[in-house]
């Protein structure tokens, strides 16, 4: 009987730690939060114009509970909404654990004139303190043209979408663990990429661009 009482108490504690977020922005919408659990910390911020976003953060006792083997688990995903207006999105994730802090930044800006022929989504996942006392963080942005259209790099900000990510990490003393990582990389002239869309002579052809960066420690 005591075992059942203790288990019920732990279940209640686990459910208290669930945090849900759903945003639909027709103008500027932003949120931020700091989450602590045992020796793990997660700070996040999201800001967007004319976009949808949904996410959740779960805080569980110590290093997990039953079939949920982690201390902090966070996911989120977003996409442009249907308004004929510029979509903008920026986010930052800062996760600390095991003597290291990893920081990931992401940005995106889409001109409304290409929304009809380009699908975009972005998101992240953070796991802190799994069964092996390890942590992982990654974020992504996907861009896919509709059939009959192709994307191509451009320097123009008209009829285009610009996106990019960075990743950096420091130890407890604040010393960098590696050089700051840029995605897609400096070979594009700056730490971001700008794409436009053109019609193809082939009706079934399309192009997909995927950006992803992450770390495990």
Number of domains forming the structure of the chain: 1
Residue 38 to residue 45: CA distance in whole angstroms: 21
pLDDT score recorded for residue 144:
97
Phi and psi (nearest 5°) for 9? -65, -40
In the beta sheet, which residues pair with residue 60? Answer: none
Domain that holds residue 10: 2-216
pLDDT one-digit tens code per residue, 105-149: 999 999 999 999 999 999 999 999 877 888 999 999 999 999 999
Which tokens hold the place of 93?
């994730």
CB-based contact 102:138 (threshold 8 Å): no
Q: Which residues 6+ apart lie within 8 Å of 53 measured at CB?
A: 21, 22, 23, 24, 25, 29, 46, 76, 77, 78, 89
pLDDT one-digit tens code per residue, 2-11: 333 333 333 3
Instruction: Select the highest-mean-pLDDT range: 35-39, 51-55, 153-157, 209-213.
Output: 209-213
pTM for this structure?
A: 0.84
CB-based contact 111:133 (threshold 8 Å): no
């Amino acid at each position: 009987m005591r075992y059942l009482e203790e288990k019920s108490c732990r279940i209640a504690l686990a459910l208290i730690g669930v945090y849900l977020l759903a945003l639909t922005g027709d103008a500027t919408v932003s949120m931020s939060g700091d989450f602590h659990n045992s020796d793990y910390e997660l700070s996040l911020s999201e800001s967007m114009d004319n976009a949808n976003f949904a996410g959740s953060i779960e805080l569980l006792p110590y290093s997990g509970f039953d079939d949920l083997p982690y201390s902090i688990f966070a996911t989120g995903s977003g996409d442009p909404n249907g308004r004929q207006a510029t979509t903008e999105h920026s986010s930052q994730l800062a996760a600390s654990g095991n003597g290291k802090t990893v920081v990931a930044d992401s940005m995106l800006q889409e001109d409304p004139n290409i929304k009809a022929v380009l699908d975009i989504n972005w998101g992240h996942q953070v796991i802190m303190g799994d069964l092996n006392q390890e942590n992982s963080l990654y974020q992504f942005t996907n861009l896919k043209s509709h059939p009959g259209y192709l994307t191509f790099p451009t320097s123009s900000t008209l009829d285009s979408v610009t996106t990019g990510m960075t990743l950096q990490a420091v130890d407890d003393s604040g010393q960098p663990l590696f050089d700051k990582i840029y995605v897609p990389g400096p070979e594009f002239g700056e730490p971001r990429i700008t794409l436009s869309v053109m019609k193809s002579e082939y009706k079934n052809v399309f192009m997909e661009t995927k950006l992803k960066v992450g770390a495990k420690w």
